[in-house]
Amino acid sequence: MATNTDMLLELNEVSLLILILSFLPFKEAVRTCILSKQWKDIWKQTMSIEFNELFFVKHGQQYDDETRQLQRNTFLNFIKSFMENFQGKDVIKFFLKVSTPGNIRDTVESCVTFATKHEVKELGLDFSDPNWDEITSDENYDALFELPNHVYENRSIKTLKLYSCSFVLHGLLNFEAIKEVSLGWIEVRFHTLRTLLSTCNTIENLSLKKCWNLEHFDMMLYGVKLGLRRLVIDKCDLDHNYFTFKAPNLKFFKYSGVVGSFEMEVNKHVMEEAEIDFALMPNFDVFGNQLYKLLEDLYPVRVLTVDSFLLQVIPSGDEPVRIQGDLNVRHLIIKTQMHHHEWCGFRFLLNSCPTLEKLTLEIDPQIILPDYEAPFHVDFKKFWHGPLIVQKCLKNTLKEVEVNRFRGTRGEFTILQYHSSRESVAKDEYQHSKE
């Protein structure tokens, strides 16, 4: 007969426990102190550390300034206590998120010194304010902190994430092993970016969020051949909205911003996934052909995510029914409000994905363009019941229709009834519509 034993006691190698903890998010690692006596202090040796102000300081109308200041003091005391009592040797990951660092500069500098002292491999510093609006605000905020010079001496850094934290370009070029760079809420000139990508050939992942003065993203003109595997351009402010690059190793591409001129050369045997979001475009315009070109460049992807703006605008191009070349998409994810302005674009994508296997509808509030124009005369009451182009995927390949945040509106039921021959999965709460 098996005896009841504490399996945790069998893990008597402290180094093994530390390794296990280091794979957990820092917040979860701290919680392991209640598992058993053996685990009480192990978390203090984790190699993955995250000091996140949002874990302590709550934002909302119910919290006044005095309450938030008390919470912030608790957060700062926790940081100080942890670093003073840290029992580990190595730090693989170190992430600090705190707003208004100018008020606590000594603490911030102590944190960065602590990380470099322990030869950190993945360093993240985020000084952006939670109240900054990344969608509607046109304001550019000056960086609130500058990366200290001693960080550039740590040539073992592989990942660097800087938000509202400025840097010196020639210092970054010292990072011989760097593979991932994320920059946000700072000014980034195109010259800086081009020099970084052309010099640091080891960079595989690049993320730009809410950066400004980038001018453009034209790498082909300068003959830069990107070695990137992942590229994210998120709500950046460009003077000229065109994006051209060659990236034969690119597997994932995400773009969020305004419609521009896109020209991308990717490897059809490597490219796997793309996410496209034009949340910064509040008005309808005839951008259909630009969107065609974008989808044509991304034809190899197997997983494609698009938003409501693309649904409403892409039929405005020269070919309002389908793209000329079939897309290779197997899983199509659509962020939609299930509004009738989106239906022509919805049908356009189904016609353009003849080998589609899974369709996911992410139902969320979307910008419905008030000046929307249908590409041809449409009777929306009969839209899903009138003659349609034969959609090959519906007959041959589509296996699953997944609906997230299903609300039970008339539009949702209409489309689901149209696909009633396929398996539909409604997730989250079912809410009765007022309709």
Q: What is the CA radius of gyration of the chain?
A: 25
pLDDT value of residue 371 = 84
The predicted-structure confidence for 287-301, as pLDDT tens digits, reads as follows: 888 999 999 999 999
> Considering only 130-134, 161-165, 212-216, 352-356, which range has the smallest mean pLDDT?
130-134
Q: pLDDT-derived band of residue 151, with 50, 70 and 90 as boundaries?
A: very high
Find, among 164, 170, 128, the residue nearest to 149 by Cα: 170
The predicted-structure confidence for 212-249, as pLDDT tens digits, reads as follows: 998 888 887 666 778 899 999 999 988 778 888 888 99
pLDDT value of residue 430 = 38
Say if residue 16's pLDDT is above 70. Answer: no
pLDDT value of residue 406 = 82
pLDDT value of residue 431 = 38
Compare 284 and 419 and report the one with higher pLDDT. 284
Q: What is the token pair recorded at 6?
A: 């504490």
Q: pLDDT-derived band of residue 5, with 50, 70 and 90 as boundaries?
A: low
pLDDT value of residue 216 = 82
Q: What is the pTM of this model?
A: 0.85
Q: pLDDT-derived band of residue 393, with 50, 70 and 90 as boundaries?
A: confident
pLDDT value of residue 225 = 74
Say if residue 61's pLDDT is above 70. Answer: no
Q: Are strands 180-184 and 331-336 parallel, antiparallel or unpaired?
A: unpaired
Say if residue 28's pLDDT is above 80. Answer: no
Degrees to nearest 5, angle at CA 325 with 324 and 328: 140
| Mean per-residue pLDDT of the chain | 83
Q: What is the token pair recorded at 400?
A: 């699953």
- Highest mean pLDDT: which of 193-202, 366-375, 393-402? 193-202
Say if residue 353's pLDDT is above 50. Answer: yes
Q: pLDDT-derived band of residue 347, with 50, 70 and 90 as boundaries?
A: confident
Say if residue 168's pLDDT is above 90. Answer: yes
Say if residue 420's pLDDT is above 60. Answer: no
CA distance 189 to 375: 39
Share of the chain above pLDDT 70, in %: 80
Q: pLDDT-derived band of residue 186, with 50, 70 and 90 as boundaries?
A: very high
The b/e string for 348-364 (b: 16+ C-beta within 10 A; e otherwise) is bbbbbbbebebbbbebe
In the predicted model, what is the mean pLDDT of residues 1-26? 58
pLDDT value of residue 407 = 78
pLDDT value of residue 21 = 63
pLDDT value of residue 426 = 40
Find, among 197, 189, 194, the residue nearest to 215 by Cα: 189
pLDDT value of residue 322 = 80
Q: pLDDT-derived band of residue 386, with 50, 70 and 90 as boundaries?
A: low
Compare 121 and 419 and report the one with higher pLDDT. 121
The 3-state DSSP class for residue 80 equals helix
Say if residue 18's pLDDT is above 80. Answer: no
> Considering only 115-119, 231-235, 390-394, which range has the smallest mean pLDDT?
390-394
